């Protein structure tokens, strides 16, 4: 059994299986969440006329750019994907910059457990 599965039963004998997604703790996934939050906060602040909204928006954009480039490099350097899977994920990450990479880190788990 893979180490990311845990199976347990309750008192009624019903079996539950939980899956732990290791990539949700990946630094780039966390960076994507921070950049998305900053982008939305910056847009909200700017819409309400606060001058600090511009700075928050720039910070979120810079972090999103770093996240996007890091995700492209990460997809290219993966050795646990087949070539067609690599091309698929590269197209998704490049076409939808921030959210495509978030989906990649959320769905890509480990060797031979890739969702495409």
Residue 68 falls within a domain, yes or no?
Answer: yes
C-alpha 43: how far from its chain's center?
21
Residue range 89-113, pLDDT digits in tens: 999 999 998 889 888 888 876 555 5
State which residues form the domain around 42: 23-107
Q: Is residue 13 part of a domain?
A: no
Does 42 reside within a domain? yes
Prediction pTM value: 0.71
Instruction: For the beta carbon of residue 20, count every other beta carbon within 10 angstroms.
Output: 11
Instruction: Confirm whether 8 is domain-assigned.
Output: no
pLDDT for residue 92 = 94
* In the predicted structure, residue 17 carries a pLDDT above the cut 80: no
Q: Which residues contact 78 (CB under 8 A, 6 or more apart)?
A: 86, 108
Domain contains 112: no
Region label for 50, one of left (φ > 0), alpha (ψ between -120 and 50) or beta (otherwise): beta
User: Hey, which residues does 114 pair with through a beta bridge?
Assistant: 108
């Amino acid at each position: 059994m893979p180490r990311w599965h845990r199976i347990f039963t309750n008192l009624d004998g019903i079996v539950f299986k939980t899956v732990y997604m290791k990539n949700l703790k990946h630094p780039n996934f966390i960076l994507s969440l921070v950049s998305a939050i900053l982008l939305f906060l910056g847009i909200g602040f700017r819409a309400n006329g606060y001058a600090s909204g511009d700075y928050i928006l720039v910070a979120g954009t810079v972090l999103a750019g770093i996240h996007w480039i890091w995700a492209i490099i990460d997809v290219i350097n993966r050795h646990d994907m087949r070539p067609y899977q690599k091309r698929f994920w590269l197209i998704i990450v490049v076409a939808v910059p921030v959210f495509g990479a978030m989906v990649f880190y959320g769905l890509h788990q480990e060797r031979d457990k890739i969702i495409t």
